[in-house]
Amino acid sequence: MSRPAFPTPPDLASAARLQRELVKGVKLSGDWRHVRRLAALDASIKRGGELVAAAVLWDLDSGMALEAGIARIPAEGVFPYVPGYLSFREAPVYLAALEQLSSPPDALLVDGHGIAHPRGLGIATHLGLHTGLASIGVAKSRLFGEAHSPLSLEAGAAVPLCAADAPLGEPCTKGMQIGWAVRTRSRVKPVYVSPGHRTGIVQALETVLMLPRNTKLPEPLRQAHLWAGRARREGLEGRLVFG
DNA sequence: GCGACAG
DNA sequence: ATCTTGTCGC
């Protein structure tokens, strides 16, 4: 039994075409009431050429990681990194990491943008569409859109991230909002949160703010980052079960 | 033509 | 993302 392959476009033009087609299927609403476990995804790259990904299965009730799935893919021939096309490079190894988990998560938390993307199809959105799961994107830096209003320095503060074509200086109206700039920690540079798939704008923010935040990144993503790096350095693979 | 540009 | 030591601050 094999899951559907993740299509790799031959060039940027066809990749953009595919994104504009796929975006039609994005749902910006969904029911998160029964989401109990989410998978946090992050990747690391080995110089000589290997993509390593970690999927940390996070239990919302206990606030702890249950297990981690690790996968690696040769960088040879993999889609290059081009801003706006990240999913074609990293989604395949993320999907492989997810398969290492003993059971599928209820939703995805991805290191990267959701709909806060030039064509509305950031990696979190693309992965949500491909898997059918609800998803949220959390990026460490901005790719698309502008945060008009000033973001206060307190932890938990958030301001809307608006489509770049919104009237500058004016607060963007709903419909032009594509996410949030979120201060996860006092005085620390914000992260950018946007819905991926089957998730509302407000739901995305609420979900991220309910997660433990001990560093700039929400805890599940921080752990995914640590495992991806450790896996790369130590050659880990497969599944790690905690507790 | 000149910047901007997830990881 | 990766290359890298010390250093400033809570």
A123 nearest nt, CA–C1': B6
Distance, angstroms, CA A233 to C1' C4?
16
Average pLDDT over residues A116-141: 98
More confident site: A168 or A123:
A123
Position A161 pLDDT exceeds 70: yes
Is A51 within 7 A of strand C by CB distance?
A: no
pLDDT in tens, A81-113: 999 999 999 999 999 999 999 999 999 999 999
Percent of chain A with pLDDT over 90: 91
Identify the residue whose Cα has the smallest distance to the C1' of B4: A143
Is A229 within 7 A of strand C by CB distance?
A: yes
For A12-241, give the CATH class.
alpha beta
User: Nearest 5°: CA angle at A27, between A166 and A149?
Assistant: 30
Is A187 within 7 A of strand C by CB distance?
A: no
- The per-residue pLDDT of chain A, averaged, comes to 95
Distance, angstroms, CA A1 to C1' B6?
33
pLDDT given at position A211: 97
Question: In the structure, what pLDDT confidence band is assigned to residue A126 with cuts at 50, 70 and 90?
Answer: very high
Nucleotides in chain B with any atom closer than 7 Å to protein CB: 5-7
Position A1 pLDDT exceeds 70: no
pLDDT given at position A112: 98
Is A47 within 7 A of strand C by CB distance?
A: yes
Nucleotides in chain C with any atom closer than 7 Å to protein CB: 1-3
Position A130 pLDDT exceeds 90: yes
